[in-house]
Amino acid sequence: MSSLVVDPGARLRGELRVPGDKSISHRAVMLGALADSPTRVEGFLRGEDSLHTLQAFTGMGVQTRWEDDETLHIDGVGVDGLCAPGSAIYLGNSGTAMRLMTGLLAAQPFASDLGGDASLNTRPMRRVADPLREMGASITLQGDGTPPVHIEPVAGLSALRYRLPVASAQVKSALLLAGLYADGETVIEEPAPTRDHTERMLRTFGYAIATCGSEVTLRGGGRLSGQSIRVPADISSAAFFMVAASIAEDADLLLRDVGVNPTRDGVLSILRLMGAHIEVLNARHWGAEPVADLRVRSAGLHGIDIPAELVPLAIDEFPVLLVAAACASGVTRLRGAAELRVKESDRIGAMADALQALGASAEPHADGMTVRGGPLRGGSVQSRGDHRIGMAMAVAATAASGPVTITDSDNIATSYPGFVAQAAALGMRLQETA
């Protein structure tokens, strides 16, 4: 188990392209595998999570090959071409792989078992299994509704009209993937907008899908055709440097090719409300996904009440946004974010403990946190094996008065392989220890 020691006083200047978007990389493998013709994916995230998805599909007979480090070719087998996996599918730390694949595999004519690491095996799965069972799927979970998941084949799925009880792109996407195979029209209603990469990519692959207000509709029985996909840099990874550059002295950073899909850009809106200097430059589209370069300069941040409607649009960025709050003047209040309790770790508990360990005033609530900005001191914090807690606290360390040790930092590779090297190249002072 590695630790990361970060010294204060980073001066972040220069340019950076963070690795490819994790959500889009997962979906590119899944839809590429189901297409009738080959798909080329440029900028694929070679992180542990998306590599687990890739491995799962190669285990079901999908041939893939690397053109270079980040360019992947997938020989699609068609919607009806997957083979039974020879053994249980291991998905590591990836909730996205687990939820989306449960939807997809529920519709296959073979049985499958899905499991993961200690964290993934505590993640709630009834939110996916319950509506899939309404479609006719046969899914067995553990008694407390967690993985491992066992799926038995059924004669066919029927389409469903369903209102999501929680705003979750993973659940929406699982149901859309099952809906590809269902008899009739599947209609999903969202209580609030969530990331729409599945919808955009289905359209890119030539699958008709309608979005009207809060409803997404697709009819089962269609085909997908292989595509050339360019994956934008992951805004969730860029967020660490957006905050780092905002709180550092004399920073001026250009983050290139960042995905700025409006269902993902809550972090931009929240940081700007806090007074951050972020310019969106060179806005363009890569296929269906909007992309831009982000110039971030040092700013005196101030606390805010985070608007409730921005919460699902920044759901993965709260660890580092809470660091921004701890470095801002005044009070920041986050509410309506109970989902953070069931991510890769309990991110409310983990961040409250970690910020308090550095002397911050961070009061956890069932569905959020109240943070009063002030000076941070050095110390030791636990990442709880959660990639985003580890990276968020590395950013916090840059503004602390002494070195910060982050224990159990290996999982950073889940979403951001190369974080330490890229951060060091930009002026952050970090060292990994075994």
Which residues are tagged catalytic?
A: 316
Q: Which residues bind ligand S3P (CB under 6 A)?
A: 23, 96, 168-170, 173, 194-195, 315-316, 339
CB 200 → ligand S3P: shortest distance, Å?
A: 12
CB 21 → ligand S3P: shortest distance, Å?
A: 9
Q: Which of 398, 257, 387 is nearest to 323 (CA)?
A: 398
Q: Which of 182, 193, 108, 195 is nearest to 152 (CA)?
A: 108
Which lies closer to ligand S3P via its Cβ, residue 78 or residue 191? Answer: 191
Query: For residues 288 and 337, is the Cβ–Cβ distance under 8 A?
Result: no
CB 170 → ligand S3P: shortest distance, Å?
A: 4
Which lies closer to ligand S3P via its Cβ, residue 31 or residue 169? Answer: 169
Q: Are strands 289-297 and 361-365 parallel, antiparallel or unpaired?
A: unpaired
Q: How many Cβ atoms from other residues are within 10 Å of residue 158's Cβ?
A: 12
Identify the burial level of 183 via C-beta atoms within 10 angstroms of its C-beta, where 0-12 means exposed, 13-18 middle and 19 or more buried. Answer: middle
Which lies closer to ligand S3P via its Cβ, residue 64 or residue 168? Answer: 168
CB 312 → ligand S3P: shortest distance, Å?
A: 7
CB 96 → ligand S3P: shortest distance, Å?
A: 4
Which lies closer to ligand S3P via its Cβ, residue 112 or residue 168? Answer: 168
Query: For residues 362 and 374, is the Cβ–Cβ distance under 8 A?
Result: no
Report the Cα 260 to chain-centroid distance in Å.
Answer: 14
Which lies closer to ligand S3P via its Cβ, residue 260 or residue 301? Answer: 260
Q: What is the rounded distance in angstroms from the CA atom of residue 424 to the CA atom of residue 198?
A: 34
Residue closest to ligand S3P (Cβ): 23
Query: For residues 62 and 77, is the Cβ–Cβ distance under 8 A?
Result: yes
